[in-house]
């Protein structure tokens, strides 16, 4: 009989989304007329920018001609997109187009990067965080080598480098779920740590488009030496509304681990990926410049304004809320003596607002609720009014 991968049984973290759906279902059964404001799942809410749709349409149409037809594309992505990324996102930090690898999502890349490393490595992962880094390591039987780095109120939700040795460190900045980003000084400390320990930083920077603070670099490569120790993951999902289209990229500089990692990732991509659809890559290219960039920046600005309004509404009611400045998430402290699940229930039944209990993102998420600003301004107005019920 075929034997199963028993490591899957070690995935202990409760999978919150089915529980949330169940709670929402029973709430709607009880109150069929109640309109729920969904500030839970962090999926984009605004329609796709028209420049992106036009670029995708044109590229698809191009493929109906003999000269424009494209079959399998390069597994690392088309050069036009890799060049556009370097020009728009990494203009002066020394990253070159051949250090960019296009993929169908940061989720895929961040969950497979561990394949390049020995299972003997000591791994550190921020907690609470986007669940994929930990779960992918557990599924691969590496759970026993993982140490969690607490992101707490005391360290402003951004851990400093530890005193002991780790080989691989997963960081998520700007952070999901905390909505807080690492500033330059902290990133410098992490780069110095990685250089000293000969470690690799695996940095999920899916929310770079949301950075507004002047002391928060948009990329780790703004820090000298980072190109020797850091791999950065970026996505078009939240910067350009691509959650349903799927396009992202990994930046893997040739100097990381003295050039040993780069050919391995290249090999891995060419073995395991046949690339991302040509029209989608044209759509991503359109998001980066000209009218497409104007449209996507306006969408990001809308979500940022949503975050500011929600934060102001909560703060004016005496609640303590973190994040929301460099990321589209608010990290709301639940009242003392209440668990994050209890407060989730309270918010749903009292205000008809759907949030995510912080516990679902890791043990150190207990005591917090995550609100997503990925909604429409109209829904924020409804939420602002609904929050009065908490008084």
Provide the binding-site residues for ligand PLP, judged by CB under 6 A: 42, 105-107, 130, 172, 176, 204, 206, 235, 237, 243, 248
CB of 164 to ligand PLP, least distance (A): 26
In whole angstroms, what is the distance from residue 9 CA to residue 34 CA?
38
- Give me the half-sphere count of Cα atoms (radius 13 Å) on the Cβ side of residue 242: 32
**Cis preceding linkage at 292, omega within 30:** no
Closest by CA position to 370, among listed 335, 389, 344: 344
Note the helical H segments in the chain: 16-30, 50-62, 79-89, 106-112, 132-139, 184-197, 226-229, 237-240, 261-272, 278-288, 290-316, 340-351, 377-386
Residue 99 is encoded by which pair of tokens?
A: 């250090």
CB of 173 to ligand PLP, least distance (A): 9
Question: How many other CB atoms are found less than 10 A from the CB of residue 68?
Answer: 13
- Which C-beta is closer to ligand PLP: that of 82 or that of 351? 82
Closest by CA position to 303, among listed 377, 386, 354, 248: 377
- Which C-beta is closer to ligand PLP: that of 16 or that of 206? 206
CB of 56 to ligand PLP, least distance (A): 17
In the bound state, the residue with its beta carbon closest to ligand PLP is: 105
C-alpha distances in Å from residue 325, one per residue of 58, 237, 331:
36, 19, 11
CB of 369 to ligand PLP, least distance (A): 16
Closest by CA position to 110, among listed 147, 86, 135, 83: 135
Q: How far is CA 215 from the centre of its chain?
A: 20
In whole angstroms, what is the distance from residue 383 CA to residue 310 CA?
8
CB of 131 to ligand PLP, least distance (A): 10
CB of 318 to ligand PLP, least distance (A): 29
- Which C-beta is closer to ligand PLP: that of 181 or that of 351? 181
* Cα angle: 62, vertex 67, 70; to 5 degrees: 65
- Which C-beta is closer to ligand PLP: that of 131 or that of 387? 131
- Which C-beta is closer to ligand PLP: that of 234 or that of 282? 234
- Which C-beta is closer to ligand PLP: that of 130 or that of 265? 130
- Which C-beta is closer to ligand PLP: that of 42 or that of 367? 42
- Which C-beta is closer to ligand PLP: that of 202 or that of 386? 202
CB of 161 to ligand PLP, least distance (A): 20
CB of 23 to ligand PLP, least distance (A): 21
Q: Is 185 exposed, middle or buried (0-12, 13-18, 19+ CB in 10 A)?
A: exposed
């Amino acid at each position: 009989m075929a034997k199963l991968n028993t490591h899957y049984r070690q995935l202990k973290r409760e999978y919150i989304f089915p529980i949330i759906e169940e709670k929402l279902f029973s709430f709607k059964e009880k109150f069929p007329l109640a309109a729920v404001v969904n500030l839970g799942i962090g999926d984009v809410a605004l329609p796709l920018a028209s420049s992106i749709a036009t670029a995708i349409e044109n590229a698809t149409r191009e493929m109906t001609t003999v000269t424009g037809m494209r079959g399998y594309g390069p597994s690392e992505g088309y050069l036009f997109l890799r060049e556009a990324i370097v020009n728009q996102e990494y203009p002066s930090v020394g990253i070159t187009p051949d250090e960019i690898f296009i993929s169908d999502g940061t989720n895929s890349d961040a969950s497979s990067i561990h394949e390049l490393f020995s299972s003997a490595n000591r791994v550190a992962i921020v907690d609470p965080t986007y669940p994929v880094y930990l779960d992918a390591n557990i599924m691969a039987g590496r759970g026993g080598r993982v140490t969690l780095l607490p992101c707490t109120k005391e360290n402003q939700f951004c851990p400093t480098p530890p005193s002991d040795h780790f080989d691989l460190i997963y960081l998520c900045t700007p952070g999901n779920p905390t909505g807080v980003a690492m500033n330059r000084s902290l990133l410098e400390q992490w780069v110095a740590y990685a250089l000293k320990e000969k470690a690799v930083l695996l940095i999920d920077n899916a929310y770079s488009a949301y950075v507004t603070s002047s002391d928060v670099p948009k990329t780790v490569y703004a820090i000298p030496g980072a190109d020797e120790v850091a791999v950065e993951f970026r996505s078009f999902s939240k910067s350009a509304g691509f959650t349903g289209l799927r396009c992202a990229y990994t930046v893997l500089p040739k100097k990381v681990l003295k050039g040993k990692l780069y050919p391995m990732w290249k090999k891995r991509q060419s073995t395991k990926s046949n690339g991302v659809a040509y029209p989608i890559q044209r759509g991503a290219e359109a998001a980066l410049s000209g009218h497409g960039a104007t449209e996507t920046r306006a969408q990001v600005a809308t979500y940022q304004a949503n975050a500011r309004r929600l934060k102001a509404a909560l703060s004016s009611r005496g609640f303590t809320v973190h994040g929301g400045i460099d990321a589209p998430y608010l990290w709301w402290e639940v009242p003392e003596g209440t668990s994050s699940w209890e407060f989730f229930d309270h918010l749903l039944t009292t205000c008809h607002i759907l949030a995510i209990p912080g516990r679902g993102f890791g043990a150190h998420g207990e005591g917090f609720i995550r609100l997503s600003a990925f909604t429409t301004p109209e829904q924020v107005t409804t939420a602002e009014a609904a929050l009065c019920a908490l008084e």
